[in-house]
Structure 1
Amino acid sequence: MASAASTSAAASRTRMNIGQVLDVLRPDFPGITIPKIRFLEDKGLIKPERTPAGYRKFSHDDVERLRYVLRMQRDHYLPLKVIGEHLDAIDRGLEPPPIEAVVPTVPQVALSSDGLPSPESFARRSDVRLSRRELLKIAEVSEELLGQLEQFGLISARPGTGHYDTDALVIARTARELADFGFEPRHLRAFKTSADREVGLVEQVVAPLKRGRDAAAQARAEEAVSEIAALSVRLHATLVKKGLQGA
């Protein structure tokens, strides 16, 4: 029977393909994708082995390194440059600097990538209020990118307050991630136009319910909006997936 030490050594020598790495990381990081892993490799944060045919092979250490990068991004909002400095220190046998909170912590539920939105996610209202400086810091976007997102109507501050909510944060972070693939804010106008059409359709369907004057009618209208919105997003996402698979 193999000893625990030999079993551990064998596990450390095991190499995984990129799909297996996704399976290992997704329970803790549901939003991880193959393009994200490739992007982190391009930035030099991980260096998996390559087979003669060019396929990536990840070691246990590679996976733990990825886990560290993703945790620092998610829990501490550190930019990749700073995370790279931490990894360099670790590689040289040093301790990375202590992590101190430098910005307010946004509830994880506001940023979780838990698959397709549920009706509850549309009904949920957040009272988080972020200043412009906090939004730039947490979303890791430049003033120029945020200005363009506002110019094209994708983000706006709450009327009368100048603060931004978690929807603005998610949009800004998503736009920044799309920028890594070459998307510019002007390209995202199509998403806004599509969303506006879906909103108009939902409002048209629930208009009869909203005419009720009693509290019960209003509650039914709000519930219907949440359910229809979740269903429309599910349909939209599935149609996009189907279209890409057939491309």
Structure 2
Amino acid sequence: MAESTRSIGQVLNVLKSDFSDISISKIRFLEAEGLISPVRAPSGYRRYSEADIERLRYILRVQRDNYLPLKVIREHLDMMDRGVTPPTPEAPTPVPEPPVEATAQASSNEKGATRKPPIRMTRTELLEASGLTEPQLHELERAMVVQPRRGTKHYGREAVTIAIAARRLAPYGVDARHLRQVKSLANREYGIIEQAIAPYQRRRGPSRDVSAEVTQLLVHVHAAMVLMANER
């Protein structure tokens, strides 16, 4: 008995509940990139097997949850095709979860810990990972909210985090103009803290570890204050 297959519209309906930003154009893009290979019916239409759908689930999940670029996803799929289990991708955490009091306690123990590997995405990969449209990304770049890493055409972890948040905030009316104001406030906040720790840095000497620790604490303080404001 021949395996049952689905049309691209049926696949969209199957995946929509788990991946709200899935679209026919995104599925076709993944096919064009060679990540999925649906069969063609005699009529010429694409037909997707259950294996194709599970492959799509994997691709969409690691894009959404782990921000994996297409190059890495392709390597993982090649391993799966050879019967090899791909490495479990590490889930990035855009905002650290430990409370402020735990951060200071743990910082001395974490200085030797391995940092998360950097993310290096092309523009196309950023659009696919974030679910943003080209016009939306253009607006964020024009507002200098999302930008490639300095001196490159590739986007890092922070750009991906902001792009995903921007896409999720858009339905609530938060757009590039508002996010530019948030960025201005963030720059001002960091400027205040940088000025405050300058005497310490002069006494002890410049230290990236100190700057990173202070920045992390500032993130916690900012998040807590926003939550407090929301409770009023």
TM-score (norm 2): 0.56
Q: Deviations over 1:80-119 (max 9, x none)?
A: 347xx9xxxxxxxx94723154824585343466536856
Q: What secondary structure is seen at the aligned counterpart in 2 of 1:160?
A: coil
Q: Supply the RMSD in Å over aligned alpha carbons.
A: 3.6
Displacement of 1:152 after TM fit?
Answer: 1.0
Q: Which residue of 1 aligns with 2:198?
A: 207
**Whole-Å separation in 1 of the counterparts to 2:192 and 2:165:** 25
- In structure 1, give the amino acid aligned to 2:227: K
Give aligned-pair identity as a percent: 30
The one of 204, 213, 218 aligned to 1:227? 213
Displacement of 1:174 after TM fit?
Answer: 0.6
List gaps (5 residues or longer) in structure 2: 1-12, 28-48, 60-68, 74-88
Displacement of 1:235 after TM fit?
Answer: 2.0
**Whole-Å separation in 2 of the counterparts to 1:110 and 1:194:** 24
Equivalent residues in 2 for 1:115-130 (5 A)? 115=97, 124=115, 126-130=117-121
Match status 1:80 vs 2:17: no
**Whole-Å separation in 1 of the counterparts to 2:153 and 2:54:** 33
**Whole-Å separation in 2 of the counterparts to 1:180 and 1:237:** 22
The one of 80, 94, 99 aligned to 2:55? 99
**Whole-Å separation in 2 of the counterparts to 1:113 and 1:207:** 25
Q: Which residue of 2 aligns with 1:52?
A: none
List gaps (5 residues or longer) in structure 1: 1-44, 46-64, 86-93
- In structure 1, give the amino acid aligned to 2:22: L
**Whole-Å separation in 2 of the counterparts to 1:185 and 1:227:** 29
CA contact 2:120–2:154 (8 Å) conserved in 1: yes
**Whole-Å separation in 1 of the counterparts to 2:224 and 2:140:** 26
**Structure 1 consecutive aligned stretches of length 4 or more whose deviation exceeds 4 Å:** 111-114, 116-121, 123-126
Q: Which residue of 1 aligns with 2:184?
A: 193
Displacement of 1:181 after TM fit?
Answer: 1.6
Displacement of 1:148 after TM fit?
Answer: 0.8
CA contact 1:126–1:166 (8 Å) conserved in 2: no
- In structure 1, give the amino acid aligned to 2:70: V
CA contact 1:126–1:165 (8 Å) conserved in 2: no
Q: Which residue of 2 aligns with 1:170?
A: 161
How many residues align? The count is 160
142 and 237 in structure 1: CA distance in 2 versus 1, 3 angstrom threshold: same
- In structure 2, give the amino acid aligned to 1:108: E
**Whole-Å separation in 2 of the counterparts to 1:197 and 1:138:** 29
CA contact 2:94–2:158 (8 Å) conserved in 1: no
CA contact 1:152–1:189 (8 Å) conserved in 2: yes
Displacement of 1:192 after TM fit?
Answer: 0.6
